[in-house]
C-alpha cells in the first residue's frame, strides 16, 4: 500500500496521467489535420521520446503557461488547427515542466516541425524550389544531351518528358530529415552528457536543409538518366540511397564531429510550492473542456460579395458550401475563392485539383501585364485541361505566397484566389485576359447590385 501510494503521488505518474487525458481530449479533433505524410504516416512519433526529454529533473517551471494562455485565447476565438495544435503541445510541455522538470530546448522546435502549418508551408512554397531544381538539373543534362531543356517543372531529355512533382522532389523528406538531425543531436548529448552551443542547433538544421536540396538534385538527375518509372522499385531505391548518402551519413558525421560543446551542469532540485502544481492542473481544465466541446474545423465564414454578384457571360454562377464562387460553362471553369487570413491556408488550386483526381504538370510562373501568373496543365487519364491562377486584392495581382501574405498582414488584404481552367490554351488565355484586371476588393460591392464582366 505504501508503494502504491508513492507511485500515485509521484510527479512523473501525475504528469503522465495528465498528458494522456490532454491527448485524448485534444487529439481527436486534430487527427485529420496533422498529416505529416512520409513513408510511415506518423514516423515522428517513434522519435518523440528521443527528442522530447527532461534536461533538468527537479528544476520545475511555469514558463509554458505564458505560451499556453495566448494560444488558448486564440484557439477559443478562432478554432483553427494551427492554434489548437499549439495548445496541445504547450499544455503537455507545461505539465512535464511543472511535475517532472525542465525540458530540452529541442522540444519546442520539434513541435513546430510536426505542426500542420509546417507541412502546408513546405507543400506550398516547394513549388518555387521544384522549378529552381528543375532548371539546375536541365543545365546538367545539357552536357549529355544538348537538346535537354526544362519547361516549368517538366524536363525534356533524349526525346522523353519527365515531371518533377512534389512526390518526386521528396519535399516531405525535409521535415523528416530535420527531425532525424534533432534526434542525432539528442542522442549525442545524452551519451556524452554535454550540450551543443546555442547557435549549433540552427546551424545544423540549416546544413540539413541544404543537404536535402543536394539529395533531391542528385535523385532527380539519376531518375531522369535511368528513366526509372514513377512508383517503381528503382524509383524508390534511388530516392532512399540518395537520402542516405547525401543527408543521413553526412549529418551523422557532422553532428559527431561538432566540437563546440559545453558540459551540462548538475542541477539541484527546487522547492516547488504545491499551489503552483494546483495552478497548472486548474489551467488545464478549460483547455480540456474547449478541446471536447469547441469544434476544431474552421468554419468557412469568409465571403466575397463581389464574386457572389458577378456575372460572366456564358457561365453559370454557383456559390459552393465553402463560399467559393464557381462559374462554369461547357469548356470553362472559374473559381473565385474568398480571401483568407495571412496565417491561414488558401484553398490552393494544386491541392484542390489533386484532391479531385488530377495530376499537375508543366507548372510555370510567368510575368503577366503588371503582375505574375501561374500556369499548369491538368491530366486525368486521357483528359487534359489547362489552368492558371493568381491572387487579387482589388489593386495587386500576384502569385507570390510571401507577397500576398505580407500585404495581407499589413492590412492590404484580403486576397481572393482566382483559378481559371479551360479545355484549350486559347480559351484559357481569353478568359485570363478578361479576368486579369483590377477587380473590386472583397466586400466593397453593395448588396443588391450586379456587375457583368465583359
> What integer pLDDT is reported at residue 450 of this predicted model?
45
The residues with which 306 forms a beta bridge, in sequence order, are none
Show Cβ contacts of residue 452 under 8 Å, excluding neighbours closer than 6 positions.
310, 311, 312, 313
Query: Rounded to whole angstroms, how far apart are CA atoms 316 and 82?
Result: 36
Mean pLDDT along residues 371-400: 84
pLDDT band at 254 (very low <50, low <70, confident <90, very high): very high
DSSP-assigned letters across all residues of 167-205:
HHHTTHHHHHHHHHHHHHHHHHHHHHTEEE-TTHHHHHH
C-alpha cell at 195: 550540450
pLDDT tens-place string over residues 302-311:
788 888 888 8
C-alpha cell at 320: 459552393
Identify the weakest region by mean pLDDT among 26-30, 38-42, 112-116, 274-278. 38-42
Query: Rounded to whole angstroms, how far apart are CA atoms 17 and 212?
Result: 39
> What integer pLDDT is reported at residue 40 of this predicted model?
41
Which of 112, 72, 116 minimizes the C-alpha distance to 91? 72
Which of 75, 68, 61 minimizes the C-alpha distance to 33? 75
The residues with which 336 forms a beta bridge, in sequence order, are 325, 418
Beta carbons within 10 angstroms of residue 426's beta carbon: 9
Query: Rounded to whole angstroms, how far apart are CA atoms 233 and 220?
Result: 15
pLDDT band at 42 (very low <50, low <70, confident <90, very high): low
Mean pLDDT along residues 269-274: 66
Query: Rounded to whole angstroms, how far apart are CA atoms 364 and 130?
Result: 11
pLDDT band at 400 (very low <50, low <70, confident <90, very high): confident
DSSP-assigned letters across all residues of 349-390:
HHHHHHHTT-EEEEEEEEEETTEEEEEEEEEETTEEEEEEEE
The average confidence (pLDDT) of the chain is 77
Q: CA torsion angle for 129, 130, 132, 133 (degrees, to 10)?
A: 110
pLDDT tens-place string over residues 190-214:
888 778 877 888 899 999 989 988 8
Task: Identify which has the larger pLDDT, 180 or 9.
Answer: 180
> What integer pLDDT is reported at residue 7 of this predicted model?
43
pLDDT tens-place string over residues 166-187:
555 555 678 888 889 999 998 8
Identify the weakest region by mean pLDDT among 54-68, 373-387, 430-444. 430-444
Query: Rounded to whole angstroms, how far apart are CA atoms 230 and 121?
Result: 25
Mean pLDDT along residues 413-421: 88
Residue 446 pLDDT exceeds 50: no
> What integer pLDDT is reported at residue 71 of this predicted model?
86
Residue 414 pLDDT exceeds 70: yes
DSSP-assigned letters across all residues of 61-130:
--TTHHHHHHHHHHHHHS--HHHHHHHHHHHHHHHHHHHTEEEPTHHHHHHHHTSHHHHHHHHHHHHHHH
> What integer pLDDT is reported at residue 453 of this predicted model?
53
Percentage of the residues of the chain whose pLDDT score is greater than 70: 75
pLDDT tens-place string over residues 220-236:
888 878 877 666 677 77
Beta carbons within 10 angstroms of residue 437's beta carbon: 11
C-alpha cell at 375: 500556369
Amino acid at each position: 500500500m505504501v508503494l502504491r501510494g508513492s507511485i500515485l503521488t509521484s510527479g512523473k505518474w501525475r504528469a503522465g496521467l495528465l498528458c494522456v487525458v490532454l491527448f485524448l481530449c485534444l487529439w481527436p479533433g486534430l487527427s485529420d489535420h496533422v498529416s505529416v505524410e512520409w513513408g510511415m504516416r506518423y514516423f515522428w512519433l517513434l522519435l518523440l521520446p528521443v527528442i522530447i526529454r527532461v534536461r533538468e529533473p527537479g528544476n520545475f517551471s511555469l514558463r509554458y503557461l505564458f505560451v499556453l494562455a495566448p494560444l488558448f485565447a486564440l484557439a477559443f476565438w478562432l478554432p483553427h488547427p494551427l492554434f489548437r495544435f499549439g495548445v496541445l503541445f504547450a499544455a503537455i510541455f507545461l505539465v512535464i515542466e511543472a511535475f517532472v522538470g525542465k525540458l530540452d530546448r529541442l522540444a519546442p522546435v520539434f513541435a513546430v516541425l510536426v505542426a500542420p502549418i509546417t507541412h502546408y508551408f513546405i507543400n506550398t512554397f516547394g513549388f518555387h524550389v521544384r522549378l529552381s531544381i528543375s532548371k539546375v538539373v536541365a543545365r546538367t543534362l545539357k552536357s549529355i544531351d544538348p537538346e535537354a531543356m526544362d519547361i516549368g517543372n517538366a524536363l525534356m531529355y533524349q526525346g522523353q518528358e519527365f515531371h518533377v512533382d512534389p512526390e518526386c522532389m521528396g519535399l516531405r523528406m525535409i521535415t523528416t530529415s530535420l527531425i532525424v538531425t534533432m534526434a542525432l543531436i539528442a542522442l549525442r548529448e545524452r551519451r556524452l552528457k554535454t550540450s551543443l552551443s546555442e547557435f549549433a542547433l540552427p546551424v545544423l538544421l540549416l546544413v540539413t536543409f541544404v543537404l536535402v536540396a543536394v539529395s533531391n538534385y542528385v535523385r532527380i538527375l539519376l531518375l531522369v538518366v535511368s528513366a526509372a518509372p514513377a512508383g517503381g522499385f528503382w524509383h524508390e531505391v534511388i530516392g532512399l540511397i540518395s537520402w542516405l548518402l547525401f543527408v543521413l551519413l553526412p549529418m551523422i558525421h557532422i553532428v559527431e564531429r561538432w566540437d563546440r560543446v559545453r558540459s551540462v551542469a548538475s542541477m539541484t532540485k527546487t522547492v516547488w510550492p504545491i499551489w503552483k502544481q494546483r495552478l497548472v492542473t486548474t489551467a488545464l481544465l478549460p483547455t480540456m473542456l474547449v478541446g471536447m466541446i469547441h469544434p476544431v474545423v474552421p468554419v468557412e465564414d469568409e465571403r466575397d460579395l463581389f464574386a457572389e454578384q458577378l456575372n460572366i457571360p456564358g457561365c453559370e454562377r454557383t456559390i459552393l458550401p465553402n463560399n467559393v464562387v464557381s462559374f462554369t460553362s461547357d469548356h470553362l471553369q472559374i473559381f473565385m475563392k474568398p480571401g483568407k487570413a495571412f496565417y491561414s491556408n488558401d484553398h490552393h488550386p494544386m491541392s484542390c485539383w489533386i484532391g479531385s483526381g488530377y495530376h499537375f504538370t508543366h507548372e510555370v510562373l510567368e510575368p503577366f501585364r503588371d503582375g505574375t501568373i501561374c500556369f499548369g496543365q491538368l491530366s486525368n487519364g486521357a483528359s487534359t485541361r489547362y489552368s492558371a491562377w493568381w491572387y487579387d486584392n482589388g489593386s495587386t495581382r500576384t502569385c507570390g505566397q510571401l507577397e500576398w501574405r505580407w500585404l495581407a498582414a499589413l492590412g492590404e488584404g484580403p486576397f481572393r484566389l482566382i483559378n481559371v481552367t479551360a479545355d484549350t490554351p486559347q480559351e484559357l488565355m481569353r478568359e485570363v485576359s478578361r479576368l486579369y484586371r483590377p477587380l473590386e476588393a472583397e466586400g466593397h460591392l453593395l448588396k443588391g447590385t450586379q456587375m457583368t464582366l465583359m
